[in-house]
Structure 1
Amino acid sequence: MNKTSERKKFKLKRPERISSEKQKKTILSAFFFLFFLFVLIWGIRTIRTYQVDGLSMNPTFEDGDRLFIAKEKQLVRYELITFFPDEQKKTSYVKRIVGLPGDKIRTEGNALYINEQLAENSALTEGLEAKKLPDGTLKVTITKEVWDALSDLEEIPADSYFVLGDNRSNSTDSRHLGLIKKDQIDGVVIFRYYPFDSIGLVK
């Protein structure tokens, strides 16, 4: 075989190699595009924005703070959630979970006792209507309507939660609204993105 035929064979192989590299780049680009699209769709479905309106969560949040909330997140004690009250479907509140399904409760007069030690979070034990009792229960003053709804219960039912605002003297929460059902909850607060000097994860 002469040198001319060897060069011809070499020249025939180069386009195949270039074509193969282009195919790899195209497949890789398509993969990254689909991955980006998946992340975008997942984010739209599971992450929402929320703007704080009012002073009921001071000092944790200020009026106008902007938050990210996660829709598919496990609900645990002290978590901050957003929810829609039954009577105000278009108004969303942000509050803190202090009572979970299965927590022992009892009513006495206009007071509700939640038999859980809540002292580990100072924001929950401050305020005019919340007092840490010697036996570790949390005592809050509730409205007559809430008392009527809870007076026959010995524990918080399944898929129900007792929530409070951190600013107890200026908050409409479970003391006035009663227990919050799981299907009323829109999501769990995970991140504050505004104001810029307060950006960060929310606890």
Structure 2
Amino acid sequence: MKETTKKELVSWTKSLAFAIILAFICRQFFFSPITVFGESMSPSFQDHDRVVISKTSKIQRFDVIVFNAPDIESEHYIKRVIGLPGDSIEVKNDVLYINGKAYNEPYLSENKRNNPNNSLTEDFSLLEKTGKTKVPENMLFVMGDNRLNSKDSRTFGLISYDSVIGEVKLKIYPFNDIGLAK
């Protein structure tokens, strides 16, 4: 083998190894692709949609997150953050109240139109669902957008910040629906 060919091969090998290591580090610590399973976030996210999550985001109210399922080992769920630490959560007549203030939930509009009763979320308070009046430190209250078909904090309770894998930032599949998460 010629000397220049060997140098070129070594150079390509180093570049490829560097790219693989860089991709591994980015996936482990910064972002990761995830596949959505189930209909609990419909219509925002459908079964088998593929999304990219950021592992470095500061979680805020109404962000869509992926977290380790509290009730099924080695599974993860995708839900919307409704309550942050210190929040009091209540739903009355299908209106979400956080700390006594009513919030519009535009991501529920399509499901409300498709529901003959026009009601998606039964009346409840955080106290009834978790035994607490406020979301404790280091915990989150989450719900799916498809409230009639979602296993969420109303079922399994609050989730810890430690269980959060990341915030959904981008939908990458199906290709005709690529875009930033809403």
TM-score, normalised to structure 2's length? 0.72
Pick one of 135, 151, 171 that aligns with 2:150.
171
From 92, 102, 106, the counterpart of 2:86: 102
Instruction: Quote the RMSD (CA, aligned, Å).
Output: 3.2
Which string of whole-angstrom CA distances, capped at 9 and with x for unpartnered residues, describes residues 100-155 of structure 1?
A: 11113479xxxx96424321x3125765343xxxxxxxx74479xx83742xx332
1:90 maps to 74
Compute the displacement of 1:40 (Å).
2.7
Matched, 1:60 2:44: yes
Counterparts of 2:21 and 2:169, CA distance in 1: 21
Deviations for 1:48-90, whole angstroms, at most 9, x for unmatched residues? 1111111111110111100111112100011000112222121
Tell me how many residue pairs correspond in the alignment. 159
Fraction of identical pairs, as percent = 35
Instruction: Report the residue type matching 1:74 in the other structure.
Output: K
Contact preservation (8 Å) 1:129, 1:140? no
Aligned equivalents of 1:124 and 1:101: distance in 2?
A: 23
Taking a change above 3 Å as real, the CA distance of residues 54 and 102 of structure 1, as seen in their structure-2 partners, is same
TM-score w.r.t. the length of structure 1 is 0.65
SS, match of residue 78 in structure 1:
coil
Query: Out of 43, 49, 60, which is 2:26 matched to?
Result: 43
Partner of 1:123: 107
User: Which of the two has higher C-alpha Rg?
Assistant: 1
Residue of structure 2 in register with 1:180 after alignment:
159
Kept in 1, the 8 Å contact 2:89–2:125? The answer is no
